[in-house]
Amino acid sequence: MTIVTLTTDFGLIDPFVGIMKGVIASRAPAARIVDVTHGIPPQDVLAGALALRHAAPYFPAGTIHVAVVDPGVGTARRPLCVETATGVFVGPDNGVLSLAAPADAIRRIVALTEEQFFLEPRSRTFHGRDVFAPVAAALATGTPPGALGADVAEMIRIAPPLPVVETGRIRGEVIYVDGFGNLVTNVDEPTLARGGRGSVVVRGTRMQGVQESYAAVARGEPLAVVNSWGLVEIAVRDGSAAKKLAAGVGEPVMIEAE
Amino acid sequence: MTIVTLTTDFGLIDPFVGIMKGVIASRAPAARIVDVTHGIPPQDVLAGALALRHAAPYFPAGTIHVAVVDPGVGTARRPLCVETATGVFVGPDNGVLSLAAPADAIRRIVALTEEQFFLEPRSRTFHGRDVFAPVAAALATGTPPGALGADVAEMIRIAPPLPVVETGRIRGEVIYVDGFGNLVTNVDEPTLARGGRGSVVVRGTRMQGVQESYAAVARGEPLAVVNSWGLVEIAVRDGSAAKKLAAGVGEPVMIEAE
Amino acid sequence: MTIVTLTTDFGLIDPFVGIMKGVIASRAPAARIVDVTHGIPPQDVLAGALALRHAAPYFPAGTIHVAVVDPGVGTARRPLCVETATGVFVGPDNGVLSLAAPADAIRRIVALTEEQFFLEPRSRTFHGRDVFAPVAAALATGTPPGALGADVAEMIRIAPPLPVVETGRIRGEVIYVDGFGNLVTNVDEPTLARGGRGSVVVRGTRMQGVQESYAAVARGEPLAVVNSWGLVEIAVRDGSAAKKLAAGVGEPVMIEAE
């Protein structure tokens, strides 16, 4: 049984996600549909790419991952199908697939030009329904990627900003804020090992070291941990760091060796 | 495998939807449950009816669609099962089923009176759990609609207001606001073809024509498009028209021929 | 087909729930995953325990219920598997399982110490992914609870405050506020039968009796009903009691005999 995952910025207020599931269930009745998330902030392609990067590895090989964060819907931006060793990724060519499908893992990139796999008529505003869901259904029922269009050499790549390692400190920044208000930074464990982990400073608040778990500090106090994505995260025990520190995406985070 | 879809105003904060799924999974283990949406504004029967109208056609024939937006729960309002050529609709007789099951498509309307299909005891406040979920499970396991109660001739029908076509212009209004803040109007494509598409005016903001896609204007600018439901929609590229124009359901929308 | 239910405070904005589903689908492909809710307020263990108590009875016997409201993640708090006559409950030992698995229904309590069932490496911040999801998958594929660790005699139990029955009145309080703004109290039907049901007073607002359904009063008016959980609930017809009465969890509710 093939799994089709969905990652979008459609939210769950409207029936858009349900409609995509209807299309997939109609055309690929045996496919199993799993939501990764539909809570990506509207048009935030990087947030969608990060969510997919951190979710895809936990699904079985061969899973079809559909990601629709698509501010360019209706323009000439290409719809893509990207095959890697671990899965198949379907979505617009705007970078949303690029973190989950790194360059060295790619087997082929196909521009989706074979319109007989799309819904007819095709809207200019909802390719989740009209292009990406039916293409995922085609893949789930055994259509090879190569039948969906022409191979292309490249896709648009995006990435969060890189941290800067200096003598005695690492200058990072917040790249994602989760629903608990945890501030996820761009500093991963290997980078942390190259710099120090003596203290972490965000908006003038200095935290002692990088802790092992949220419980290292008292309730309501801020701390730094390495989170489940392998990234340094600023949290407040039983609280919201985003609120307490009044910080969001882009906020500088300084990690000092001592 | 039969599909059971769910459309409610229960939200996803509470376990109500999960409880309905437990009832269906207990009584119809082979049925596949798909959420259309649980984000209908509380007690907004028309919004529920619109969501179901635009989602149901994308599901396979024979799908059982359960819709529970039910401000009259516990009163004498009838629970219904409505069979059409394409599916079976289950919900209260308050209009929530009426847009997805238009009069000319109806095969039979059954008032759900056979209480042996309900849960026992039956609450007065949660017929999603006690009436509609078990009836959907009965249908999914092969119970014919006629066994669930008595045929009735009519059901309550609701509809969004109709646009008015005048010489040189169409007077419409906003009937739905989606999660992106797009303002969906009651003007469909055939109506648009009868009037003009020269410019669209909402709350004093005039937009040039009806565009092909969101990308026809610069970021942050408003525009009109025909959306994926075939309706004229006021949007803001990469933004929220509801916020920028401070408009919601009921807001007049004037479409002028020139 | 075994059902695995999920009850968490992870919300649906982030991919955390999707990641848990990926882990379960990878390790137990035949298991069916059903969301109870992911809208538990962050770290609100009692709210999670109440949701699970009222949802679990509607699932088939043998269902595996995973509940992750886990402010102590990464500390020495034990992960548990609790078997009852009706299901298997998996989650942290902080009380979140204790209302759904009452003491007199418990067959065995197992502390999850067999780390070969966990994901490797194991984070200190996301045991939903690294401990509870893979353990649920192990159970769903037939691993007996006893293989997952050592039997223990007790688990942490929590409970909402008990109402006080006095001559002529019951002193209760609000223990849960649902998404409609209904104020759910700790007064159940047997307690109500011991006291009176003449009038209900919340924050100076007196309501006549305990009604049969929301429709007993005019729109916008407050009332008391026995809700679908068998508990006295303060509601506002077609509105929000939480807003109208400016009340939340902990608010005293007085039920007077006359």
The pLDDT mean for chain A works out to 96
- The CA-CA-CA angle for residues A66, A67, A70, to 5°, reads 135
Q: Which residue of A has its CA nearest to C29?
A: A1
Task: Describe the crossing of helices C133-140 and C16-27 by its angle, rounded to 10 degrees.
Answer: 30
Condensed to tens digits (0 to 9), the pLDDT of residues C223-242 reads 999 999 999 999 999 999 99
Nearest CB to C225 within list B14, B43, B125: B125
pLDDT for residue A81: 98
A212: closest CA of chain C, how far (Å): 7
Tokens of B123: 């609450």
Residues of A with CB below 8 A from B5's CB? 18, 22
* C222 cis-preceded (ω within 30 degrees of 0): no
Contact C21 A32 (CB under 8 A): no
Condensed to tens digits (0 to 9), the pLDDT of residues A9-64 reads 999 999 999 999 999 999 999 999 999 999 999 999 999 999 999 999 999 999 99
The separation between the first and the last C-alpha atoms of chain B, rounded to the nearest angstrom, is 52
pLDDT for residue A215: 87
Residues of B with CB below 8 A from A72's CB? 215
Residues of C with CB below 8 A from A225's CB? 124-125
Best of C96, C183, C228, C240 to disrupt the B interface (most B CBs within 10 Å) is: C228
Q: From B237, B244, B238, B229, select the one nearest B175 (Cα to Cα).
A: B229
pLDDT for residue B137: 98
Given a cut of 90, whether residue C217 has pLDDT beyond it is yes
pLDDT for residue A74: 85
The pLDDT mean for chain C works out to 96
Nearest CB to B15 within list C1, C36, C233: C36
Chunked into runs of 10 residues, chain B (258 residues) has average pLDDT values of 96 97 98 98 96 98 97 92 97 98 97 97 94 98 98 97 94 96 96 88 94 91 96 96 97 93
pLDDT for residue B198: 87
- Count Cα atoms within 13 angstroms, Cβ side, for A4: 29
Residues of A with CB below 8 A from B32's CB? 25
How far is Cα C208 from Cα C200, in angstroms, rounded to an integer?
7
Condensed to tens digits (0 to 9), the pLDDT of residues A153-198 reads 999 999 999 999 999 999 999 999 999 999 999 999 999 998 878 8
B176: closest CA of chain A, how far (Å): 10
pLDDT for residue B196: 75
Nearest CB to C228 within list B26, B71, B129: B129
In chain B, at which residue ranges do the beta strands (DSSP E only) sit?
3-8, 32-37, 63-68, 79-84, 87-92, 106-112, 149-152, 164-166, 169-177, 183-188, 199-202, 205-208, 222-226, 231-236, 252-256
> Which whole number is the average pLDDT over A80-103?
97
A30: left (phi over 0), alpha (psi -120 to 50) or beta: alpha
Q: Using a pLDDT cut of 90, give the percent of chain A over it.
A: 92
B218: closest CA of chain A, how far (Å): 12
Given a cut of 90, whether residue A242 has pLDDT beyond it is yes
How far is Cα B61 from Cα B85, in angstroms, rounded to an integer?
8
pLDDT for residue C102: 96
- ipTM score here? 0.96
Pairing of strands B183-188, B199-202: unpaired
Best of B180, B188, B228 to disrupt the A interface (most A CBs within 10 Å) is: B228
Given a cut of 80, whether residue C70 has pLDDT beyond it is yes
Given a cut of 90, whether residue A234 has pLDDT beyond it is yes
Interface of C with B (CB under 8 A): 1, 3, 5, 7, 12, 32, 34-39, 51-52, 54-56, 58-60, 63, 178-180, 212-215, 225-228, 233, 237-238
Contact B35 A21 (CB under 8 A): yes
Rg of chain B over Cα atoms, rounded to whole angstroms, equals: 20
Q: Using a pLDDT cut of 70, give the percent of chain B over it.
A: 100
Q: Is the pTM of this model over 0.95?
A: yes
